[in-house]
Structures are given as structure tokens and as C-alpha cells.
Amino acid sequence: MQFTTSLTNNYEFRRLYAKGRSAVTPTLVIYTRRGRGGVNRVGFTVTTKLGKAVVRNRIRRRLREIYRLNEARLCRGADLVIVARARSLEAAYAALEQDFLTGCARLGLLAGEEGGQ
């Protein structure tokens, strides 16, 4: 990921949950908040309720790839947490990608959109 670093600390995730804006789609929930600097920071969350480690890691890999392919379209300087929902288990890759772009558009994260950060 060229323009991105990872969120790693628990307090960063909790801050986004508490003070960030969110967009809900059938397969994902995206939390965002303005960050520092010109770099996006992203974290991925997949709850243990969705399955064992193999299943969770597969979902996480798909979400990382969707983010990587679309990160050039996003505005810089935002913190994001992407949370997988239960429907993401059976969802096609194209549906996950569409939901990600829809959520980002609702939050004004897409660079070419009005109201972007």
C-alpha cells in the first residue's frame, strides 16, 4: 500500500469507533476520522463470530486487496477502520468492492467527489 500505513494500537481503533463517522453497507462498516499528515492509516477488523482463523484471514486478505487497488482514488490524510460483517462471508469479491466504494463515497473519501477531505 503506497500511501498508507497500518493502525496497530487498540486506542486508535477505539478512538475511531467513538469519535469517527461511519458508513454502513450490507457487507462492511467503515469508520473514518481526519488524521495527521498526508498519509492514510487503515485497520481491518474481522470478529471471531465470523469463523475460525482461516475464514477470518481470507476475508481480511480480500479487504486489503480491495483497499490496495482503490487507495489512489481516496483522499489523503484519513484514518479508516474497515469492519467485516456477517454477509461478507458469502459475498462475491465484486460486491465487497462495490460496498467499499459506496461507503467511501458516503463519507466523502473519494478524491474526485464533492465534499472530499
Closest CA to 35 of 79, 81, 4: 79
Domain of 41 in residue numbering reads as: 4-100
Q: Model's pTM, two decimal places?
A: 0.90
Residue 116 domain-assigned (yes or no):
no
What is the per-residue pLDDT for 115?
47
Q: What CATH number did the domain enclosing 8 receive?
A: 3.30.230.10
Residue 58 domain-assigned (yes or no):
yes
Q: What are phi and psi of 48, to 5 degrees?
A: -70, -15
Total domain count for the chain? 1
Could you give the CA distance from residue 64 to residue 21 in angstroms, rounded to a whole number? Answer: 21
What is the per-residue pLDDT for 81?
96
Could you give the CA distance from residue 13 to residue 44 in angstroms, rounded to a whole number? Answer: 10
Per-10-residue mean pLDDT of the chain, 117 residues long, equals 84 94 96 88 95 96 95 92 96 96 94 57
Residue 65 domain-assigned (yes or no):
yes
What is the per-residue pLDDT for 116?
46
What is the per-residue pLDDT for 113?
55
